[in-house]
Amino acid sequence: MDAILNGILTSSYPDKLKKQLIQKIAANGANPQPVAVIQSVLELTSKWYLNGETDLAQSQGLSVYLAWARYNLRVLETFFSREFLLELLQLKCHNEGSVFILIKDSMTLLQQSAVFSAHLQVLEAKAISYVRDHPSTPCLKNLAVFLEDFKQCIPKGDFASTFCISLIQSLSLCTVPDSPQDVIEYIRDVERVCKLVFNIWNSSDSENIIIDSLKAIFAVISDSGDNKPSFCLAAVVQFVPNDMIDRVVKFTIQSSVDDRSMTVALQRIVDWLQWPTAKNIDQWIVIFLRALASVKKFSILIAVTDSKIEQVCEKLQFSAMCEPAFNVLEHMLLSFQHSPEPFHKVLPMIPGIVETLRADNSERNTSCLQRLASLLHCCMFLHAGYPDLYDPILEAVKGLPEPQTSEIKDILSKNRWTAQNLEGTNYVTKVTQKSETGKTGLYNLGNTCYMNSVLQALYMCDGFRRGVMAYSPSPDEKLLEQLQLVFAYLGHTQRPAYAPMTFSRVSRPSWFTAGHQQDCSEYLRFLLDQLHEQEKATCKGQKVKRAKGDDGEPTSVNGTNSESATVANGDDAKIRTLIDQGFGGQLATTYTCLTCGHQSSRKEDFTDLPLAFPEYRPVGCPSEGKDKDDDGKKENGDVESEENKSKSSTEIKSLHLNDLLQYYLKPERLSGDNKYFCEKCNSLQDGERTLDIISAPDCLILTLLRFSYDVKLQSRSKNFREVKYPKTMILPTMQKQVSELGKTNPRHSLRAAVMDRLGKFGLELNTEKGEVYSLNAVVVHSGTSSDHGHYYAYARHSIFCDPHSICDTMDDCKEEDELDFLQDKWYLFNDNRVSYAKYSSFSNVTKRFTKDTAYVLIYKRIDPSNAEKSEVDLNSSIHPREVDPPLSSKLRTAVSKDNGLYLQEQELSAKKRTARKRQNVNSASWYNYKDPDDNDKGPPGSCGGSSGFNNSGPRFVF
């Protein structure tokens, strides 16, 4: 009979005819047959079922086997012996997954036989080894199905825990198939096996069996070897009772697991979010993250968040994963408060995700969309100061509920990493390629954005930068030497960003605490003052040295022919330093007695003008940033006491910079307790104080006094009033009479033309004299207090050509913003990020981001005598290295050496990436996620992800 069956199967008949013939033979099993024939048929058909290469052989093999076995139980009892059973359990065959189907069907028929109990014992004894030897989902699933019916075969006692551990270890090796249909079957098989594990846990009287299983899972996922475990282990963990999660996590955190293993384990737990039917995975992840924060394992938190944040965000697109993925994303972003990089990484995905969620009006997606909008507002509040990145996000979530400021602060406070010192974390922003602008960024070294924004603004003051680069500092001028080095790197390094660590150390005021946010205006004033004093001290020393005759014939200062510093004869000689030439101006303060008319005045130098806000001066508010003898009127105006009043403040008609200048120069009446002591009257008299600018600086620094101390709140607060800062302005000055200057003076004709045009635009200049200035840089403060928030700068080059060519086309200007003398090519400097910007966008940034307000303005004086002599194409980008003097040999050597080091770093990084990719190709794992260190994709915050799952693995969504 077996020969007939083989003949039919190997014949050339159609499968349909073969099946009909085989079924007839199957029916003959009910008829009496010789024992040898029955055994030969059972042996042949079992081989067909387990080793058959065609579907016909497998399906008909089992059908004939069961038909003949059912009617020949005595022969089956002999055939299905202990030896045959052991052989099946160790068999390596084509259809291994079907072994336990054959065993289950055979054992069902043999339940009343004498061998049944003995077979059960064999199966119980061999269950663990079978699981270990057959790490495939069909084998494990069919074993689970068998054990559902034959629970007697489940290992008992201590072996039950070992059996569960073996199942977990084998599941971790089960790779995901490529076919979508096979993937669905894979998921169902895994769920069946995990249900078996859960039933074993449930039937145990002790929690130890669960603990042992979880230990096994952690051992698997924390192994940093090449073979990555399957994320199907998520299906096991979902059955852990909720009340055990905290205890298990606490035990794991307190165990002696090294940071590397813990990081790998947590990254793989995050991968479990991909499992479509898993429950509570988000709880596991969040509890793990909180537990690690409580023991200050910040390096693990940083590594996991940085490497997985994009992957988690991608899952928001899929309905089944949206809620758990959002829970994890929310915790990661709200707790990672010391750096905006993770938030910026996911920003490119947000508009698409919002669009996807809006398209699905289900209750779940609607809720997720609203929570996402709230999260985005919280993160933009936390990491304020990036309007170029946040504008598309605001547009995407337009119309969705926005949380109140008090709610945002409460949320951020609750999610903050527990008791951590954020400034102490060594999280360095990843930047991997030069900005498309060609400019170099500056790394934030820990709340050093106040320094970075000032440095970038000063660097874009071309005249000052050129003076610095042409200067030869003495050994005592350490600060200027370091500033030269920073400027050299900004102009010549091949790195995308530079870390000014030494400059930060030598330029930081002694009262500034490292790692804490500071007032950029205070820092700028201190920086300029120190540069001035160091150069002045050097010049005085050289003057004394020459006076003693040590040098022989007098030489130029610092051995250069530049006019960076001038020493005149006499003890009271005026020393013109780089700071004087670039930013120095002079004020005259005049006091007039209103009784006798007597006047007294004095002159004083300045490097910046502090502009207070009119209309807002609160009574009794201590002044801040007081300039020499200026009284309270020249200090900060009334300031909103609460940040949440910022929106209401912007609703008031915005001020113009000209309003603040007029208020600064407005005569002040001195009366009452503030009377003036007249020397002529020899008594206190009513008087008047006036300020006049008698010498205008080349670069005018204007500080908008937004910060003051609120007496009621006992804290420093900020004025959020919007100020219009034009591209072109007139600075009122006390100049010589026109008759003295001559009617053909080019500065006069330029000033007259500009003043006439600005007057037609509605500006009340209240002066016939003044200097023309064009906007060079703007430092923006984003936040609610000077010692909190973020600074960034908008700047452009201050090189200009013949300004009279602009005057010839001035009549074509229809509005104030069209009048401009500098190249209209703006850059946004935001720490390591440098990008293009537009004046029309950032000039009204406060309307879109109420906490972002202009704080320090730098204007360049437009003097025809200082126009660029050489040909500079203002229609193309200006590269400082092309217009600056050549680098000194010392600077050139330092930059060249660092550029060579950078190239070596790039080469080493490329080799490491190649080695990792080669390992991934040779790996037996089914998925290879993008390595977080693979930096070829571009800088963080500008690179997006794929969709759903990584491209390297199968995709499935329920």
- Cβ-proximal residues to 702 (8 Å cutoff; 6+ apart), any chain: 608, 609, 611, 657, 660, 856, 857, 858, 859
Backbone angles phi, psi at 710, to 5 degrees: -85, 115
Q: Is 790 a catalytic residue?
A: yes
Among left, alpha and beta (phi > 0; psi -120 to 50; other), residue 30 is alpha
- Cβ-proximal residues to 149 (8 Å cutoff; 6+ apart), any chain: 104, 108
121 CB neighbour count, 10 Å cutoff: 12
Backbone angles phi, psi at 717, to 5 degrees: -130, 175
Tell me the C-alpha distance between 689 and 666, whole Å.
9
The sheet carrying 599-606 orders its strands as 599-606, 585-593, 687-695, 668-670
For every residue of 538-589, DSSP letters joined together read HHHHHHHHHHTTTTSS---GGG-SS-S--B-SSTTPPB--HHHHHH-EEEEE
What token pair was written down for 337?
Answer: 């408060």
In DSSP terms, 587 is beta-bridged to 604, 693
- Where b means 16+ CB within 10 Å and e means fewer, 285-317 reads bbbbbbbbbeeebbbbbbbbbbbbbbbbbbbbb
Q: What is the identity of the amino acid at 793?
A: A
Q: Is 449 a catalytic residue?
A: yes
Element of type H or E holding 729: strand 728-731
Tell me the C-alpha distance between 955 and 713, whole Å.
56
As a whole number of Å, the CA-based R_g of the chain is 40
Choose among 15, 10, 2: nearest CA to 41: 2
- Cβ-proximal residues to 375 (8 Å cutoff; 6+ apart), any chain: 326, 329, 330, 333, 334
Residue 885 contacts residue 466 (beta carbons within 8 Å): yes
Contacts 24+ apart (CB under 8 A), 458-461: 459/486, 459/487, 459/490, 459/795, 459/880, 460/776, 460/777, 460/795, 460/796, 460/797, 460/798, 460/827, 461/582, 461/699, 461/776, 461/777, 461/798, 461/858, 461/860
Residue 139 contacts residue 129 (beta carbons within 8 Å): no
For every residue of 119-176, DSSP letters joined together read HHHHHHHHHHHHHHH--SHHHHHHHHHHHHH-GGGS--THHHHHHHHHHHHHHHT-PP
Residue 231 contacts residue 275 (beta carbons within 8 Å): yes
Determine which one of 194, 379, 449, 539 is catalytic. Answer: 449
What token pair was written down for 754?
Answer: 């500009």
What token pair was written down for 811?
Answer: 């009549």
427 CB neighbour count, 10 Å cutoff: 20
Choose among 591, 587, 589, 588: nearest CA to 688: 591
What token pair was written down for 853?
Answer: 């307000």
Tell me the C-alpha distance between 496 and 518, whole Å.
25
C-alpha dihedral (507, 512, 517, 519), degrees to nearest 10: -80
Determine which one of 338, 383, 781, 790 is catalytic. Answer: 790
Tell me the C-alpha distance between 391 and 350, whole Å.
12
Place of tokens 């249900």: 195
Query: Which residues are catalytically annotated?
Result: 449, 790
